[in-house]
Structure 1
Amino acid sequence: MILFIFFLASAFSLQSLPPTVSSPEFSADGTVLELDDSNFDSAISAFDFILVDFYAPWCGHCKRLSPELDAAAPVLSRLKEPIVIAKVNADKFTRLASKYEIDGFPTLKLFMNGVPIDYFGPRKADLLVQFLKKIVVPDVSLLESDSAISNFVETAGTHFPIYIGFGLNESMISEFAIKYKKKAWFSMAKGFSEEVLVLHDFDKVPALLSLHPSHNEQSVFYGPFEDDFLEDFIKQNLLPMAMPINYDTLKLLKDDERKIVLAIMEDESDEKSLKLINLLKSAASANHDLVFGYVGFKQWEDFTDTFEVNKKTKLPKMIVWDRNEEYLSVIGSENLDEEDQGSQIMRFLEGYREGRTVQKRIAGPSLIGYLKSLISIRTLYLLVVVVGGIMLIQTISKEDEREVRQRRHTQDRIDDSSSSASESETREVYRPEDKED
């Protein structure tokens, strides 16, 4: 009897256990992993760093991104800290899409030790590799020699600014290196010669050197090295001295509270505009409280139209923009002549600081507002489905009501007919007693 009870208890306990799920083996072999509901969690836990592309088969942007990921995957897999690339058909595996709040395609998320963060970095293979390499390096790289410094700059590439401390303690910048890790490279030179100082055109330490390789720009900070001053220098040098204003660069300005001195030019790539851009850089070096940017009417006509610029407008035109619905025009200094533009920019800045301005509203929603207001394809699709469902339900309900009313009306007519027929039958039916002799 005791054995029988033990057998029943064992059988019951086995039935109550959830089924065992075996985790498949994964390897960082340079291929892009295809994940689904059955193996997603196993893959995320198998790697310290895994970039996941949530895509839809019908999405054009997803199709263009796919070969870039295929090209980046083998390079990232060979890093000292390998990064794996995977993809999920979020249009099919909706549970995963819902869990990770995927509302547009493609959406990239980097899982670091199982914790997801949104990836907003570049998507071309070479730039994507540079960006992700930065994620897995130490917050502050220690450079022990001149060759280590040059190797660090070369490895860092040209997409992000580089900060190198000379004669500083690592702890002085470690806090900011963590805070701005996704936006810049940070390092500390522990061993260096005079030749490095000459190469980068500064002559004393302690100093913090900022490099923007893609724009061939550099800046040196000699202190004071208190937190506020040091962070201001780092924040101001995250951006080039004069930057093109477009969809990507506006994202970089998301956390920057400074106003933009914006030069609107005919064509941002022609020779005249390049000279103006250099003048904007010179002005930026003396006005760190402002962001200096430029945009070409030829490249971004729809955007420049919001600042009352059209084919008849005299260009270049200068404004000060807060990246929202308002901008400032400096009285008497709005348009630049071809001669002595450097002096005209100085007068424009003087007029702005002295308040000789007119406040205007842009002709439509700001570009940032426009970007925020964009509804993703998936959200739009769901919205259409929901609205369509509601309309269908309402239509069916109306048809049901109409059918019910029609039935009632028909039944009432039938009832009326039946009642009339009964009366008629009652009157006309032959009865023996009615027979007349």
Structure 2
Amino acid sequence: MRLLIPIFSIFIILLSISHAVSSHDFTIDGTVLELDESNFDSAISAFDYVLVDFYAPWCGHCKRLAPQLDAAAPILAGLKQPVVIAKVNADKFTRLGRKYDIDGFPTLKLFMNGVPIEYNGPRKAELLVQYLKKFVAPDVSILDSDAAISSFVEAAGTDFPIYIGFGLNESMISKLAIKYKKKAWFSVAKDFSEEAMVLYDFDKVPALVSYHPSYKEQSIFYGPFEEDFLEDFIKQNLLPLAMPINYDTLKLLKDDERKIVLTIVEDEADEKSMELIKLLKAAASANRDLVFGYVGVKQWEDFTETFGGNKKTGLPKMIIWDGNEEYFSVIGSESIAEEDQGSQITRFIEGYREGDIIQKRIGGPSLIGYIMSLMGIRTVYLIVFVIAVVMLIQTINKEEPLTVGTRDRDDHGSSSAPEAESREVYRSGDKED
């Protein structure tokens, strides 16, 4: 019996040592942790969620990312399910770089309970917070009162669509909630009042309500609650009925396979355009197999000119765009007159469905202008200069030709390259500097 006391004491001591090592004196204080090979494993074991920035001190992209992470860190640390941001100089601590397959800088990985996954979300501080806040939330939130519903909607914010299943079994949407977790909030209301039914405008259960806070748009789905039908409803309501086209919304379209009905106006903020947008929403509601978008020449002239839309052409102008290099004009519906625009939109859609179209390709010169607007004129000049230098070196020394990007990735990789930027002209990539 006397042996039990020392053994118990030793166990307590070992437990204390283990706790000290595992925590490594780490605290969630809202700062970005600086990790190295001596404390990396302890850090990712100490917290449930750790976003790690694998960077190199010489990397320009890394230098631009650092202040974004500094700004996001205190907000993420204060979440109900905190996310810790850390960074490691993978150019110096190469063992860590090799272990986690780091072949470019900066590379972000999210460690969930010690298990890493590639982070492909936004990199601006505000958007990064919104993305991770959603990422660490439950796949489907269970709501048991009107107050819980209100709290859920308020906490979800305005950046993602919200789906609430009233009188719906969680298992019916759990699989799809996991699939579309990065794009929407999902919940199931187990208990609610008639006031909630009035507020969300449904009159029977089960019902799945989709709500777009940013656009104040709402749709109701009463079934059938089979996976294919449910998924169609969820996909069709991830985007608003008529979407303004800009840098951010183009990214939302990259995973959507539907054709885009693009309306080009002179100024999307003027009164005439606002009335036209209402008509586009009505058409979108009746044609869910298409995405409806609009853009103003005043708001984004470089983009509109790639489709032949400018102040000198007949505006408003409607086209069908495949999201890449091709678009279609509908014969007899090249522009929309001011009178009876609703009927003209209907004829445009009918003409497209009947095949009365002319296939076109995006204009070359304006496309270059658009690339320059994305990358910046200095970047374009720098790329041209680098290519010219490389070609000159190749000509001088043909025995050992040099090409852009031949440097050993383990030594000086980069997460973005000029070629990558130019390939993603209209659907910019997931990484954002």
> Residues of 1 paired with 2:122 and 2:212: CA distance?
17
What amino acid sits opposite 1:166 in the alignment?
F
> Residues of 2 paired with 1:91 and 1:392: CA distance?
32
* CA deviations over 1:65-94 (Å, ceiling 9, x no partner): 544433332232233322001234566667
State the match for 1:119 in structure 2.
Answer: 120
**Higher mean Cα deviation, 221-230 or 95-104?**
95-104
Q: 1:356: how far off? A: 1.4
> Residues of 2 paired with 1:308 and 1:100: CA distance?
44
> Residues of 2 paired with 1:56 and 1:166: CA distance?
49
State the match for 2:176 in structure 1.
Answer: 176
| Cα distance, 1:22–1:52 mapped onto 2, change above 3 Å | closer
> Residues of 1 paired with 2:47 and 2:393: CA distance?
44
State the match for 1:78 in structure 2.
Answer: 78
Q: 1:141: how far off? A: 0.6
> Residues of 1 paired with 2:22 and 2:343: CA distance?
72
For the 8 Å contact 1:146–1:191, the answer to whether it is kept is: yes
> Residues of 2 paired with 1:91 and 1:311: CA distance?
51
Query: What are the residue-to-residue correspondences of 1:99-118 with 2, within 5 Å?
Result: 99-101=100-102, 103=104, 107-113=107-113, 114-118=115-119
Q: Which has the higher contact order (CA 8 A, sep 6+)?
A: 2
> Residues of 2 paired with 1:174 and 1:165: CA distance?
11
* CA deviations over 1:41-88 (Å, ceiling 9, x no partner): 443333221123345667776556544433332232233322001234
The size of the alignment, in residue pairs, is 371
| Cα distance, 1:59–1:101 mapped onto 2, change above 3 Å | closer
State the match for 1:253 in structure 2.
Answer: 253
State the match for 1:394 in structure 2.
Answer: 397
For the 8 Å contact 2:22–2:42, the answer to whether it is kept is: no
| Cα distance, 1:391–1:340 mapped onto 2, change above 3 Å | same
Query: What are the residue-to-residue correspondences of 1:65-214 with 2, within 5 Å?
Result: 65-89=65-89, 99-101=100-102, 103=104, 107-113=107-113, 114-121=115-122, 123-125=124-126, 127-214=127-214
- Counterpart of 1:214 in 2: which secondary structure? coil
Q: 1:257: how far off? A: 1.1
What amino acid sits opposite 1:296 in the alignment?
G
Moved over 6 A (4+): 58-61, 395-398
For the 8 Å contact 1:122–1:131, the answer to whether it is kept is: no
| Cα distance, 1:47–1:207 mapped onto 2, change above 3 Å | same
For the 8 Å contact 1:168–1:188, the answer to whether it is kept is: yes
> Residues of 2 paired with 1:300 and 1:90: CA distance?
39
Q: Does 1:52 align with 2:52?
A: yes
- Counterpart of 1:177 in 2: which secondary structure? helix
Query: What are the residue-to-residue correspondences of 1:32-43 with 2, within 5 Å?
Result: 32-43=32-43
What amino acid sits opposite 1:118 in the alignment?
Y
State the match for 2:357 in structure 1.
Answer: 357
For the 8 Å contact 1:37–1:96, the answer to whether it is kept is: yes
Q: 1:138: how far off? A: 1.4
Q: 1:29: how far off? A: 1.7
| Cα distance, 1:208–1:326 mapped onto 2, change above 3 Å | same
> Residues of 1 paired with 2:95 and 2:327: CA distance?
44
State the match for 2:299 in structure 1.
Answer: 299
> Residues of 2 paired with 1:282 and 1:335: CA distance?
19
| Cα distance, 1:222–1:33 mapped onto 2, change above 3 Å | same
Give TM-score, length-normalised by structure 2: 0.75
State the match for 1:404 in structure 2.
Answer: none
For the 8 Å contact 1:325–1:366, the answer to whether it is kept is: no
> Residues of 2 paired with 1:32 and 1:237: CA distance?
37
**Higher mean Cα deviation, 194-203 or 48-57?**
48-57
**Higher mean Cα deviation, 321-330 or 145-154?**
321-330
Q: Does 1:318 align with 2:292?
A: no
> Residues of 1 paired with 2:56 and 2:148: CA distance?
43
What amino acid sits opposite 2:116 in the alignment?
V
For the 8 Å contact 2:330–2:351, the answer to whether it is kept is: yes
> Residues of 2 paired with 1:23 and 1:202: CA distance?
50
Give TM-score, length-normalised by structure 1: 0.74
- Counterpart of 1:346 in 2: which secondary structure? helix
| Unmatched 5+ stretches in structure 2 | 1-20, 402-433
> Residues of 2 paired with 1:198 and 1:162: CA distance?
17
What amino acid sits opposite 2:186 in the alignment?
F
Q: 1:259: how far off? A: 0.3
| Cα distance, 1:225–1:392 mapped onto 2, change above 3 Å | same
State the match for 2:238 in structure 1.
Answer: 238
* CA deviations over 1:394-433 (Å, ceiling 9, x no partner): 38999xxxxxxxxxxxxxxxxxxxxxxxxxxxxxxxxxxx
> Residues of 2 paired with 1:195 and 1:22: CA distance?
50
Query: What are the residue-to-residue correspondences of 1:365-404 with 2, within 5 Å?
Result: 394=397
Report % sequence identity. 71
> Residues of 1 paired with 2:234 and 2:161: CA distance?
10
For the 8 Å contact 2:48–2:112, the answer to whether it is kept is: yes
State the match for 1:272 in structure 2.
Answer: 272
> Residues of 2 paired with 1:289 and 1:238: CA distance?
13
> Residues of 1 paired with 2:203 and 2:224: CA distance?
17
State the match for 2:412 in structure 1.
Answer: none
What amino acid sits opposite 1:109 in the alignment?
K
**Higher mean Cα deviation, 77-86 or 193-202?**
77-86
* CA deviations over 1:341-372 (Å, ceiling 9, x no partner): 222111111111122111112223989x979x
> Residues of 2 paired with 1:244 and 1:317: CA distance?
15
What amino acid sits opposite 1:255 in the alignment?
D
For the 8 Å contact 2:61–2:105, the answer to whether it is kept is: no
> Residues of 1 paired with 2:392 and 2:333: CA distance?
56
Q: 1:173: how far off? A: 0.2
> Residues of 2 paired with 1:124 and 1:64: CA distance?
11
Q: 1:244: how far off? A: 2.0
